[in-house]
Homo-oligomer: A and B are copies of this chain.
Amino acid sequence: MAIEDMKNTLYQMGEKAKIASYKLAAMSPKDKDKCLNAMADALELAADEIKKENEKDLVAGQEKGLSQAMLDRLKLDDERIKGMADGLRILTTLEDPVGKELDTIVRPNGLKIQKVSVPLGVIGIIFESRPNVTVDAAGLCLKAGNAVILRGGSEAIHSNLALGHILNRAGLATGLPEGAVQLVPFTDREGVGILCQMDNYVDLVIPRGGEGLIRAVVTQATIPVIKHYKGVCHQFVDVSADIEMALDIVENSKCHRPGVCNAMETLIIHQDIAEEFSAKVAERLFGRGVELRGDSSFCDLVPEALEASEGDWSEEYLDLILAVRIADSVESAISHINKYGSHHSDGIISNERASIELFLNQVDSSTVYVNASTRFTDGGEFGMGCEIGISTDKLHARGPMGLPELTTYKYLVVGEGQIR
């Protein structure tokens, strides 16, 4: 597709989305929930239509030689369609994040200043293979009163367009403004650059996918971006740790679901318990099939471990591999985490108050744990009821992002003729 044609298409989509966003901002919670329910029902009713379009993506994927794991992520069956529909229904049970009075001040001159939550406006979501993102993101954005422009990957284009079509068909019939949920109908790479420079129309871009995609978005964007590049999460086993608890937490942080961003990638052990703990943790993790890559001190204690290279300390394995290092103090563990980590989720296992406080204060991560698995960094586990992603940024949203993070605020100032 020619660049000019892409620009025209995207600008038109942007303009429609902006107009829709003003209508969405004025919709009542009840009306938004009505749309969400209608969309959920429509997905289940149109299961055959969805599976037919999804099949096209699966066939193309096989021809392109996608891995079995990729094909599995792509696949939509009845269970997954029901899962997407239920996700929309759950949103109707959550509190509406719009129109909340965040603060009110009356100034000495009588001006009444109210800070009120409002939708962000138009959100661009740029994502890779999983087509369920189309439904999840559309639902979350709608619940928070935002219009959304979804740009999925080429592997799922038929599935995404079908889902978008069904959501709109049901939504438009129940009061969803036209332009509220739009799918980019092409997947040329250049479209990403255009979309994330549409300052006039788009208020926020959320890239969801591999580090390459995210870097491409960040480099080109002139619109604010919320992201997390990767999750290099740590557990530090302090000298005062309860050994059995530490073994359970380390095993769970690494093995419960090694392919996700809140899985532990590096273990740090205090040198004063290294001899006892290293042997035990090695036994436990070898038993789960984990490959250990240690610094020289750890390898001295556990000869079966491989030697870690400098690159291992910032590696997101997403696999049954763990880097292990021995530290001489909580301070040096903290320095390691702040230097090599991704500011996502990092924990200390300790029973000593001073170490715990130092760790909580000084580790510069979105979520800092004491005596718990890193696997809890998740909107659902935090009680948010849903999640549009996890931010390792510090601006606007940090950590799991729920509905309130999809809003901003404005100041309403009411006077009786005040001037300066």
Contact = CB atoms under 8 A, between A and B. Distances in A.
Contact of A419 (B25, B224, B373, B418): B373
Contacts of A417: 242, 245, 248-249, 371-372
A382 B394 contact: no
A410 B394 CA distance: 9
Chain B CB within 10 Å, residue with most, of A225, A253, A364, A366: A364
A373 to B, nearest CB: 4
B419 A256 contact: yes
Contact of A414 (B203, B225, B370): B370
Q: Is the interface of A mostly helix, strand, loop or mixed?
A: mixed
Contact of A420 (B376, B410, B413, B418): B376
A364 B121 contact: yes
Contact of A413 (B222, B376, B409): B376
Contact of A372 (B25, B256, B366, B413): B413
B376 A418 contact: yes
Interface string A16-39: 000000100110000000000000
A399 B113 CA distance: 12
Nearest to A373: B419
Contacts of A154: none
A80 to B, nearest CB: 22
A418 B248 CA distance: 9
A408 B398 contact: yes
Contact of A410 (B366, B383, B416): B366
B394 A204 contact: yes
A148 interface: no
A279 interface: no
17 contacts: A25-B362, A105-B383, A120-B395, A203-B395, A224-B395, A242-B417, A249-B417, A367-B410, A370-B413, A370-B415, A372-B414, A372-B417, A372-B418, A373-B419, A375-B419, A395-B395, A398-B408
